[in-house]
Amino acid sequence: MMTTTLLVAPAGSGKTTTAVRFALERAAALERVIVLTLPNQREGWLERLAAGGASLGVEVTNLQNVCYRMLDRLGENRAVVLNPGRVALTRAPRDGADASDQSRRGAAVRP
């Protein structure tokens, strides 16, 4: 049976320290541990787990990776367009708009 634990407390109250200790205890008991964190916090988590004695049995990931894994397991592994690509794709139709349409709106027309 899988259990979920959510720690909620003010900043600086020891949430991360408590979570690291909890993760290491569960991993030592041979339980599967998944830490869901922000992408930019992964390295810090790995360092804390290693400093705590070990990190084997603890997976540190983020919500985006979990979603990709779920799609892959469902056979929905499609190409994903990241933010810079989305911006480029949304600009393309505007950049290719009819010049007469742009001039009617008073927009500058690119050659």
Give me the DSSP letters along 10-70.
Answer: -TTSSHHHHHHHHHHHHHHTT--EEEE--GGGHHHHHHHHHHTT--TTEEEE-HHHHHHHH
Express each pLDDT in 9-57 by its tens digit. Answer: 999 999 989 999 999 999 999 888 889 888 888 899 999 999 988 778 8
Q: Are 5 and 35 in contact (CB under 8 A)?
A: no
Residue 80 binned pLDDT confidence (cut-offs 50, 70, 90)? low
Instruction: Using DSSP, state whether 55 is helix, strand or coil.
Output: coil
Domain ranges for the chain: 15-97
pLDDT at 32: 87
Tokens encoding 7:
């720690």
Q: What is the pLDDT of residue 67?
A: 84
Q: What percent of the chain shows pLDDT beyond 90?
A: 23
84 compared with 98, residue with greater pLDDT: 84
